[in-house]
């Protein structure tokens, strides 16, 4: 009987050793957890935003605060620079153009960008339906500029009203 008991203890020990060996073989998988991974890609597409701070401007001659009406001179002017143009673009070689929707104009309106934070202001632009350079070399930037409008009328043109819808566009330079 002693032999049988010794054999039984031997097999129990072998069985125990095999269980421990199997447990150790799988231990890293269970004890340290599993890992997984994936790729996250950030895609930046062209972004272009533009805004003008004031919706409506009235260039009123002669009652405007900055109106210039001089006796004996045909030309009368009025200026306004209450608007701020704001923009942002992440594309290189960009510029801002300006144009009006009013094809037939009785009076003249000029615009100029004052102190742009980025880029180069064009000289005063006489508005037309053709898009004209307003601020060049804005590149990849966000910036701002005050916009000064000057209304010009000749006394000989009489009275009237020109209503412009002015469009600023960021475009390739």
pLDDT tens-digit map of 68-105: 888 888 899 999 999 999 999 999 999 999 999 999 99
Q: How many CA atoms lie within 13 A of 159 on its CB side?
A: 3
Predicted TM-score (pTM) of this structure: 0.75
Q: Is there a contact between 128 and 76 (Cβ–Cβ < 8 Å)?
A: no
CA distance 31 to 127: 75
């Amino acid at each position: 009987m002693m032999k049988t008991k010794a054999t039984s203890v031997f097999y129990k020990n072998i069985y125990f050793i095999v269980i421990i060996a199997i447990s150790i073989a799988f231990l890293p998988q269970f004890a340290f957890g599993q890992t997984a991974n994936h790729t996250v890609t950030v895609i930046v597409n062209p972004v272009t935003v533009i805004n003008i701070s004031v919706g409506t401007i009235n260039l009123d001659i002669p009652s405007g605060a900055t109106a210039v009406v001089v006796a004996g001179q045909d030309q009368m002017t009025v200026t306004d620079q209450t608007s701020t143009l704001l923009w942002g673009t992440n594309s290189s070689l960009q510029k801002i153009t300006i144009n009006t929707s009013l094809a037939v104009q009785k009076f003249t309106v000029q615009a100029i960008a004052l102190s742009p934070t980025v880029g180069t202001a064009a000289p005063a632009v006489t508005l037309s339906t053709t898009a004209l350079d307003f601020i060049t070399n804005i590149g990849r930037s966000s910036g701002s500029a005050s916009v000064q409008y000057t209304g010009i009328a000749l006394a000989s043109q009489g009275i009237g009203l020109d209503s412009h819808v002015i469009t600023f566009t960021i475009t390739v330079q």
